[in-house]
Amino acid sequence: MKKAQLLGLCILACALLPLAADVPYDSYTYNRWMEPVEAPHAFVPDTMLRGEDLGVSAFSAPHGLFVHPASDEVYLADTGNDRIIRFDRDFNVLKVYEGFNEPHDVFVTGDGTLYVADTGNARIAVVDAEGDLVIEYGTPESDLIPEGFVYRPLKVALDRAFRIYVVAQGVNEGLIELNKDGVFKQYFGATKVTLNPADYLWRVFSTQAQRRTMRRIVPTVYNNITIDTEGFIFTTTSAYTRQQIESAIYWGNTQVTPIRRLNPQGDDILKRDDFYPPVGDILFVSKDSSIPGASSLCDIAIDDIGIYYVLDQRRGRIFAYDPDGKLITIFGGLGNREGLLRIPVAIGLLGDRVLVLDSQTDALSVYSPTTYGKDVITAITDYYEGRYDRSKENWEKALAQNANLEWAYYGIGNALYREDKFEEAMRYFQIIRHPDPFSRAFKYHRKEVAERNFGWFVMAVVLIFILYRGLKFYYKKRMKGTVKS
């Protein structure tokens, strides 16, 4: 019997080996000591699509990608061919919109109206679902815009109030915000420029040559924008230097934020509840890559629950974070094989699949989740939707496949905490040595123990009091007897 079981396991391992070998990259995470840790693949390459595969002519330097949340239709800004291509979730072309000049991005409203960042025409073109031009918004006019400003809109998005947000080339005052009529309202979400202690110390101990190479402290230039399901604005930037990213990782510099989630006031409210901030790679030279420098984050996509996927153009990596900023997985890479990227420029989510657009290979790469990836994502989704029992079960499934998944212990602990199982939660929080949730669970466990044993405590106090009074009465009486004799 044992031989038969062993043979079965060997056959299964041999069957799975080619599947693992077909994945052209390593997946990994970082532990609490900021060391890379190998992990099972959460996403694997599914297919790579070019224009010819969709039944249209070849793409040419595409730059923009938008997935409609209601219809699951995909809109691709084929920049070099001056067109927008629309196709369904099965990659059947539905319509080709033309008449643009180097369109870099597209945003589509609920009724199918397209807002196109028509870069070469220096405008935001508003086009209906049939392809007819409704209106165009040219160079914004305001006293805040410098004279001679060359308007090149690169990215566009709309919030629930139909305010238009534009990422324009060379603008470091933040996003350009237009009202629903296309009139300039303000610069939105500009970064603060105060010199923090980390930057100050870095400059103090730098040589004159290093200081000359440092960038001036100016507001950060955004390179992409996305709206989540709650209407908050996510932005990315790759303008930070390696030294600035290191100051965020090792010095806790909260002003260096390559990923932001902006509220209506333009304040960053992104949660950062990991051992390190969400900046992409923590180590800048991995074992399988000699590409130096910090991650160059160029786009972001968010699912319905708030899990966000960030694209690193420098190494072709995709970083997945949960809504609290905890790193879930890292996958992808640079290369010429299918599933690898050359110059990735845009990312989108189509159901549970990840789409990545590459401007050099002129292709759309599709990644599908593995069983492990589905277990992790389902566990996170269940937790944030209040299904704590199911969340715990899925975290346990994921943990069985990857014992190094530290946040699985955190997830199980949180699920137990939500079920008022504080003592059990403490054990899981202790494994990852995260002091805040452990202290919170310990506080309620102590209270629970006190409440559970309160009756016994009162009874013990009463008995001690009675015993004390009895002994006192006894000794008093005995002393009186001794005095009489």
Each residue of 60-75: pLDDT tens digit? 999 999 999 999 999 9
What is the pLDDT averaged over residues 20-48?
91
The string of pLDDT tens digits covering residues 261-293 is 999 999 999 999 888 999 999 988 654 556 888
Q: Where are the domains of the chain?
A: 27-369, 388-452
pLDDT of res. 344: 98
The CA distance from 81 to 65, in Å, is 15
pLDDT of residue 196: 54
Residue 13 above 50 pLDDT? no
**Angle value at C-alpha 296, between 290 and 234, nearest 5 degrees:** 150
The predicted pLDDT at position 407 comes to 81
Give the Cα separation of 253 and 265 in Å (integer). Answer: 22
- The pLDDT assigned to 415 comes to 82
Please check the confidence at residue 18 and state whether its pLDDT lies above 50.
no
Q: Is the pLDDT of residue 448 over 60?
A: no
Whether residue 450 is predicted with pLDDT greater than 80 in this model: the reply is no
* The predicted structure's pLDDT at residue 334: 95
- Please give the Cα distance from 144 to 11 (Å, whole number): 69
Read off the pLDDT of residues 240-269 as tens digits, 9 standing for 90 and up.
989 999 999 998 888 899 999 999 999 999
Query: At residue 441, does pLDDT exceed 90?
Result: no
What pLDDT is attached to residue 456? 65
How far, in Å, CA of 408 to CA of 400, rounded?
10
Work out the percent of the chain whose per-residue pLDDT is above 90: 63
209: pLDDT confidence band, cut at 50, 70 and 90? low
| pLDDT grade for 207, boundaries at 50, 70 and 90 | low
CB 102 within 8 A of CB 109: no
Residues near 257 by beta carbon (within 8 Å), at least 6 away in sequence: 191, 248, 268, 270, 277
Rounded to whole angstroms, the Cα distance separating 163 from 142 reads 17
> Two tokens at 62?
């595409």
Q: What is the pLDDT of residue 1?
A: 38
Higher per-residue pLDDT: 16 or 445: 445
Instruction: Please give the structure tokens belonging to residue 402.
Output: 């990857």
Whether the predicted pLDDT of 410 surpasses 90: no
pLDDT at position 345, please? 98
Residue 138 above 70 pLDDT?
A: yes
pLDDT at 475: 74
pLDDT at 191: 72
Distance separating alpha carbons of residues 382 and 479, to the nearest angstrom: 72
3-state DSSP of the chain: CHHHHHHHHHHHHHHHHHHHHCCCCCCEEECCCCCEEECCCCEEEEEEECHHHHCCCCCCCCCEEEECCCCCCEEEEEHHHCEEEEECCCCCEEEEEECCCCEEEEEECCCCCEEEEEHHHCEEEEECCCCCEEEEECCCCCCCCCCCCCCCEEEEEECCCCCEEEEECCCCCCEEEECCCCCEEEEECCCCCCCCHHHHHHHHCCCHHHHHHCCCCCCCCCCEEEECCCCCEEEECCCCCHHHHHHHHHCCCCCCCCEEEECCCCCECCCCCCCCCCCCCCCCCCCCCCCCCCCCEEEEEECCCCCEEEEECCCCEEEEECCCCCEEEEEECECCCECEECCEEEEEEECCEEEEEECCCCEEEEEEECHHHHHHHHHHHHHHCCCHHHHHHHHHHHHHHCCCCHHHHHHHHHHHHHCCCHHHHHHHHHHHCCHHHHHHHHHHHHHHHHHHCHHHHHHHHHHHHHHHHHHHHHHHHHHHHHHHC
pLDDT digits (tens, 9 = 90+) for 106-124: 999 999 999 999 999 999 9
User: Does the pLDDT at position 59 exceed 60?
Assistant: yes
**Residue 144 to residue 136: CA distance in whole angstroms:** 21
Residue 139 has pLDDT above 50, yes or no: yes
- The pLDDT tens digits of the residues spanning 156-203 come to 999 999 999 999 998 989 999 999 999 999 999 987 655 555 555 655
Instruction: List the CATH code of the domain at 27-369.
Output: 2.120.10.30
pLDDT over 80 at 315, yes or no:
yes
Q: What is the band of 4 on the pLDDT scale with cuts at 50, 70, 90?
A: very low
pLDDT at residue 9 tops 90: no
- Tell me, what's the pLDDT at 166? 98
In sign, the C-alpha dihedral spanning 205, 209, 215, 217 is positive
Chain mean pLDDT for the chain: 85
Residue 308 CA to residue 472 CA, distance in Å, equals 71
Per-residue pLDDT for 438 more than 60? no
Task: Report pLDDT for 123.
Answer: 98
- The three-state DSSP-derived secondary structure of 112-163 is CCEEEEEHHHCEEEEECCCCCEEEEECCCCCCCCCCCCCCCEEEEEECCCCC
